[in-house]
A = this chain, B = another copy of it.
């Protein structure tokens, strides 16, 4: 194990020993204590408040809260299975009769896997908070486009010791759907706004060009294109000083016409809509605060506690 992995393991153990998180068994699966959940709630409110003015869009954000699963039909319209198959969470269930049920249980009793008895359900786990929104926007956008504040639990299958790499986590986003310029402006202005928000919490956040973790050989080209076209900027915080290159706690993304084309979202003039989003990783910001200011939130700087209503 290298030094960075060791530092992550130590931090995870501290979080569990202090009671802030409770390990549920398996890597990257935790229950949040009251204290941890309070920090997350404070970050949620701060993000909501920060974005409430709608920035230069002149729009009031429309709020939507999503469940952790969404229809396969919507998932199929994205290229998620092509780009991130390894992170995907597909849902299946049992739809058989009494006899099949008895055989499934008998096989399970004999130590066999029972997944072969299951049938794909109509749902997938939500991989990013904004993914369920695009299907609801199919058709012609109102003049000026849409600004939507979304939040929900996301799932990514990447079990890890690193406490910042949870399999299930909460993301809070502002999504802009409209003209290319509107989408680009949203993404650009949120780089500064997100950095200011994080800085106000005493976090040493840095904006860096980034790419999504595309799968496999073909993914290398996609990642390189994304970087070359400057479509993704992450706000990263070094949780372990010189040891690491930084953990992304927020991300500002310009999707071009990716979702507009996939979901048939158009402007009033018939052009395909472009989209952009800023996403805040609520648990990651909480972890960055705990690394920066210490595990005892009651001893955090007064200004930080005030911003988080702690």
Binding site for B on A (CB under 8 A): 22-26, 29-34, 36-37, 62-71, 73-74, 81-82, 85-98, 101, 104-105, 108, 113-115, 118, 120-123, 125, 132-133, 135-136, 150, 153, 155, 157, 159, 166-169, 215-218
A12–B25 CA distance with the chains assembled, in angstroms? 39
| Chain B residue at minimal CB-CB distance from A217 | B98
Using Cβ atoms and an 8 Å threshold, which residues of chain B touch A166? 67
**Most B Cβ at <10 Å: residue of A66, A67, A95, A97:** A67
Using Cβ atoms and an 8 Å threshold, which residues of chain B touch A22? 64, 136
Overall SS of chain A's interface: mixed
Is the beta-carbon distance between A93 and B101 smaller than 8 angstroms? no
Is the beta-carbon distance between B167 and A69 smaller than 8 angstroms? yes
Given A22-B64, A63-B33, A73-B25, A92:B92 Cβ within 8 A: yes
Among B64, B88, B114, B120, contact of A94 (Cβ-Cβ < 8 Å): B88
A7–B85 CA distance with the chains assembled, in angstroms? 41
A31–B126 CA distance with the chains assembled, in angstroms? 12
Given A24-B70, A32-B64, A93:B104 Cβ within 8 A: no
